[in-house]
Amino acid sequence: MARLDRPGFMHAAPRLLLGILGSLACMVANAVSVDAQMLDRGSDIAYRRALGPAADARQLNANVAATARARRIANRLVGSASASEAEAKQLHWAVNVIPGAAPDVRVYPGGRVIVHESLLTATGLADQEIGAILAHAFAHLLLGHDARRIEIPERVETADPNRAELAIADTTADALRRIRYTAAEVAAADRASVEMLARAAYDPRAAGSAWRRLAVGGKGIVERVPVGEERLLALDAASRAAVPLFEETRAKAEAYERAQRTRPPARITGPSGGPPIR
């Protein structure tokens, strides 16, 4: 699993992202085929553009504490998702934090994540509540809700693969700017996100409190993911159902930590001056 400690455009993309990107494949002019690697590269370009001038300047991730927090929480969630979702292992996860007054999370195809600093510093959300918001965004990606809205042009006025990638980047950015999820997609992402939280040893009941608190401002991610009473009741029910999984996961994690603390140091044996110990 890739660590989330570098901008996404610094990651190599050797694998084909069949589960998330394969459904987008089509043809461009002069038989330049759009394969999964080209789609991944187009998404990477769109992601870099979204980072803006900060991508190549010191202000990217200037808030070191906020960035470290976002990556720590995301790493924990990605680890839990990768344990149950094969597609999560194939993605080139990367998390970067940029300034932004509205608490928001944007996930680009391939696992590239942009978090607005205000989500981490201005909302007062605890780690598990931040985890609930990130898990919901990750769930939309893994369920293919974002990819379905990216309509790759059937033809572009070039046979150059590099220019084709730029066209893909434009389409990706436009789709993600305009995206509004359906009620069914939100419900599916809610169910997946609470399970992801539980598997990461975060209390899934934090999802309800996180969305209720963000709904008050009405900006950022809640513009794409509306928060209504019916949704909150369903989310609370799904969260309660995931509590046994959370408690089981937490117990295993605590047992592992205790074992690590009490494990005696390794003893080195062997005759002095003898051959190397193998």
- pLDDT higher at 84 or 268: 84
Give the confidence band of 25 by pLDDT, cuts at 50, 70, 90.
very low
| Cβ partners under 8 Å of residue 17, min gap 6 | 36, 39, 40, 87, 90, 91, 109, 110
Report if residue 273 sits inside a domain: no
Report if residue 271 sits inside a domain: no
Report if residue 274 sits inside a domain: no
Residue 234 belongs to domain spanning: 8-262
Report if residue 278 sits inside a domain: no
Instruction: Say if residue 186's pLDDT is above 70.
Output: yes
Phi-psi map region of 52: left, alpha, beta (phi>0 left; psi -120 to 50 alpha): left
Amino acid identity, position 245: L
- Give mean pLDDT, residues 224-238: 96
pLDDT score, position 18 = 40
Report if residue 275 sits inside a domain: no
pTM over 0.85, yes/no: no
Task: Write down the residue that tokens 């699993």 correspond to.
Answer: 1
pLDDT score, position 83 = 76
Give the confidence band of 243 by pLDDT, cuts at 50, 70, 90.
very high
- Give mean pLDDT, residues 206-210: 97
pLDDT score, position 11 = 38
Give the confidence band of 57 by pLDDT, cuts at 50, 70, 90.
low
- How many C-beta neighbours within 10 Å does residue 159 have? 12
Report if residue 93 sits inside a domain: yes
- Distance from C-alpha of 67 to C-alpha of 3, rounded to nearest angstrom: 13
- Distance from C-alpha of 52 to C-alpha of 96, rounded to nearest angstrom: 12
Instruction: Say if residue 82's pLDDT is above 50.
Output: yes
- Give mean pLDDT, residues 134-150: 91
Structural domain total, the chain: 1
Report if residue 104 sits inside a domain: yes
pLDDT score, position 36 = 74
Report if residue 86 sits inside a domain: yes
Instruction: Say if residue 133's pLDDT is above 70.
Output: yes
- Give mean pLDDT, residues 64-90: 89
